[in-house]
Amino acid sequence: MVQFELSPAQKELRARVREFAVREVLPAAWHYDEKNDIPLFLLKKAFDGGFMNGDIPARYGGRGLGCLEIAILTEEIAAACPGVATSIFDNSLGMAPLLLSDNEPLRERYLPAIAREFKRICFATSEPTMGSDVASLRCTAERQGEDYVLNGTKYWITNAGVADYLTVFATVDPEQQHAGIGAFLLERGWEGVSVGEPIPKLGQRCSNTAGLNFKNVRVPKENVIAEPGKGFVLAMQTFSRTRPIIGAFAVGAARSAMEYAIDYVKKRRAFGTKLANFEAIQFKLAEMYQKVETSRLLVWKSAWEVDSGIDPTVSASIAKFYSTEAALEVVNDALQVCGGYGYTKMFPLEKLLRDIRLFSIYEGTSEVQRIIVAGHVLGSYQPIMPPLEDLPLIRGLDLNDESARNTPAWRCRMCGHIHYGEEPPEECPSCFFPNTAFKKVWPAA
Ligand SMILES: Cc1cc2nc3c(=O)[nH]c(=O)nc-3n(C[C@H](O)[C@H](O)[C@H](O)COP(=O)(O)OP(=O)(O)OC[C@H]3O[C@@H](n4cnc5c(N)ncnc54)[C@H](O)[C@@H]3O)c2cc1C
């Protein structure tokens, strides 16, 4: 049976985080957006409330939530402010490679600190010269004895300015591409680590984004999350588990935009009636709701795959690019429905529009998601229907008639013309290809 109903525990979690989002995050978000600053106190409150690091397993002092629970709680926080949601979820992104690695002693050393103290951990693959093409990263990890020494720059790193720990992907040799990449857990206070100034952005201005620079940073062998050669796959496995959550960001933001639009059209009057009475407006609302619901289903399915141990790569990509692009349409339509007010900073739509624009860029652009899904469709996807050249599309026989039912049918592999008889024709009467183009498709073998 397919189960769409949340459990009592999941409903309780949603109710608690909903209250946190509406009471704490919503009122504060606009101030920090204008200041281009991260509201660390909100992250602390999220930490205290159990809404940060939820995915740390209980054996390390965490709550052991699944990806579905993280999606549920992230939707609520993003509904209040996508930037704050990004900052809070960044710990899960930063920890994911460690959780997926086979370095148990490293997990035992760092995860309890992250679970019990208010520690932040960021995730760094991107660099000034590459983002989508992870295999071309240039930050180097040179082996010295059993340790590694890191040199290079990471860019666009969420929470870099406030992180205690850094999950960094670097290569023993940029020429080796995928085969040279490893992953390392660094501490912000280590010699040679420096953080750039916050990068000014269009939206999500209350999430911190900055560069990281490494000059001869010595990483002891104990802090290797993945040995060189294993880091690229680990980065991809990480994204497959975090992309459903980017989808959840989009669901939350789109849901809020829709709700603001509903409120406005029920009250605003034009041409002697409420806006809500115009069919053109009703259709926009219907499509907004359709997109929010569809997005959530895709997000939950991919999160369920993560929790069920099924490879979530394709579902996560579909959830990410569908829901983030749908959110852009929903928020844009909601702004339109609110007219001139929608365009102002006194209404919440312009911030949502700026904030959500990022969703189809970070953690793999929409184009990258399409590349992943196209690779699946053209590769491992198993079709149900026979190939075109085998299609028994019988048009000229009455199959109620037993003798007719046994008449052989030949299909031209070029144009699809069907010929009935014991032998194929000399040439196809439609495309003039010779009889070798014909394949017997009926009666079925
Ligand atoms: C606010 C913010 C926060 C971020 N946080 C983090 C973080 O915490 N950690 C981290 O590591 N990174 C982070 N990033 C980086 C982010 O993941 C990259 O920006 C993203 O992966 C795209 O890389 P890029 O910017 O280098 O674009 P590019 O890779 O240069 O791509 C430019 C454009 O070309 C398209 N393109 C590229 N290759 C192809 C192709 N083969 N076919 C078709 N189109 C293609 C892309 O889709 C994109 O539209 C963040 C970025 C931003 C803006």
Q: What is the predicted pLDDT for the residue at 92? A: 98
Phi-psi region of 395 (alpha: psi -120 to 50; beta: other; left: phi over 0): alpha
Distance CA 124, CA 183 (A): 9
> Which residues in 90-146 belong to E strands, given as ranges?
121-124, 140-144
pLDDT classification of 68: cutoffs 50, 70, 90:
very high
Give 130-178 pLDDT, tens digit per residue.
999 999 999 999 999 999 999 999 999 999 999 999 999 999 999 999 9
Are 65 and 50 in contact by the 8 Å Cβ rule? The answer is no
Residue 226 pLDDT: 98
Q: Backbone dihedral region of 204: left (phi > 0), alpha (psi from -120 to 50 degrees) or beta? A: left
Measuring from atom 45 of ligand 1, which residue has the nearest CA? 367
Bridge partners of residue 157, in order along the sequence: 210
Residues 75-124 have pLDDT tens digits of 999 999 999 999 999 999 999 999 999 999 999 999 999 999 999 999 99
- Distance (Å) of CA 171 to CA 177, 217, 438: 8, 14, 54
User: Residue 417 has what pLDDT?
Assistant: 95
Decide if pLDDT at 445 tops 80.
Answer: no
- pLDDT at residue 402 in the model: 86
Query: What pLDDT, on the 0 to 100 scale, is given for residue 109?
Result: 98
Nearest ligand 1 atom, CA 94: 8
- pLDDT at position 3 over 90: no
Residue 132: CB within 6 Å of ligand 1?
yes
pLDDT of 388 > 80? The answer is yes
- What is the residue with the minimal CA distance to atom 26 of ligand 1? 131
Q: Annotated catalytic residue: which of 363, 422, 426, 427?
A: 363
pLDDT of residue 222: 98
Residue to substitute in 91, 93, 121, 126 for testing ligand 1 pocket (most ligand atoms within 8 angstroms of CB):
126
Average pLDDT over the chain reads 97
pLDDT of 387 > 80? The answer is yes
pLDDT at 256 over 90: yes
What pLDDT score does 125 carry? 98
What confidence tier does 438 reach under pLDDT thresholds 50, 70, 90? very high
222 is catalytic: no
Structure tokens that stand for 248 in this block? 């959840």
Strand, helix or coil for residue 209: strand
Which of ligand 1's atoms lies nearest the C-alpha of 158? 8
Ligand 1 centre and the CA of 76: distance in Å?
A: 26
Q: How far apart are CA 106 and CA 183, in angstroms?
A: 12
DSSP state at residue 36: T
Domains of the chain, start order: 8-119 (1.10.540.10), 122-228 (2.40.110.10), 232-378 (1.20.140.10), 388-442 (2.20.28.10)
What's the predicted TM-score (pTM) here?
Answer: 0.96
Q: Which two tokens stand for residue 367?
A: 């184009």
Residue 262: the pLDDT is 98
